[in-house]
Chain A
Amino acid sequence: MPKEPFPMTITITPNAGATTIRLEGELNAVTSPSVKATLNELAGQGTSRIVVDLQGVPFIDSSGLGALVSGLKAAKLAGGSLALAGLQDQARAIFEITMAYRLFDVYATAAEACASAPEA
């Protein structure tokens, strides 16, 4: 029973003060290159605050973590910030094992992350 070959839906919603990028699907070896490219593009466009909504992401592997770190670096380099929201239990494992929590601002929901955005 072959599974679907990992669809990843990326939805970008610009809001006042923060741009939300909602991911739906596994953030894994197959899908992380496109997420990494999208995050870098957003940061390069001068988006001051990026909120990555992970509520629809059931799994994150090391390449997914690498993509988020890449986005974080690009955002900081451009003078902005990147926050994570809605981490699911399975996806949480990699942050706990690597202690990558301390790199990111992590919020329960995307709305919370956006509300806490620093004034532009």
Chain B
Amino acid sequence: MPAVRTTTIAARLTEVSRLRDAVGALAAPDAGLPVRPSPQAIAAWSLAIYEAATNVVRHGHAGGADSPIALEIETAADEVIMRLRDQGEHNPAWAAPQAPATEQLQAALDDLAEGGYGLPIIRQVAHAVRYERTPAGENLLELRFRY
């Protein structure tokens, strides 16, 4: 049985940082990971989860709502799998085809874009991103990170 830890917050921007704390806890010596992640890895995963959850609050919950967002963290032999579950609006942006993250980031930087870095950051940090609207009407966003 893989270990799964769940952290639940309200879908509000002021709450999202608590999910970073949950990711940060993976750095603890007793976190039970096969490999101790580097501080850089923890910082990158935390940022990706923060960006993903912020996106869920902004676009799925009209900027903020009392309904929950749950983060499940599953540690496997060679990767960490993080799932965000929420009952907000369907967000087709997650499922849309994307240019490679590095290209998007490069284009944004060359254009000195003042926003729109969130999704490319997530795709740069996670090696796999999967979005599903479950039959129960729940959004499931799964991000996988290599150790």
Contacts and interface: CB of A to CB of B under 8 A. Distances in A.
Interface of A: 3, 5-6, 26, 28-30, 36, 59, 61-63, 65-67, 69-70, 72-73, 89-90, 92-94, 96-100, 102-103
B14 to A, nearest CB: 5
Given A28-B17, A59-B20, A103 B43 contact: no
Nearest to A101: B109
Residue of A28, A29, A90 contacting most chain B CB atoms (<10 Å): A29
Contacts of B17: 3, 6, 26, 28, 59
A68 to B, nearest CB: 9
Interface of B is mostly: helix
Contact of A65 (B43, B117, B125): B117
A103 B13 contact: no
Interface residues of B, number: 32
B124 interface: yes
Interface in B11-46: 13-14, 16-18, 20, 39-40, 43-44, 46
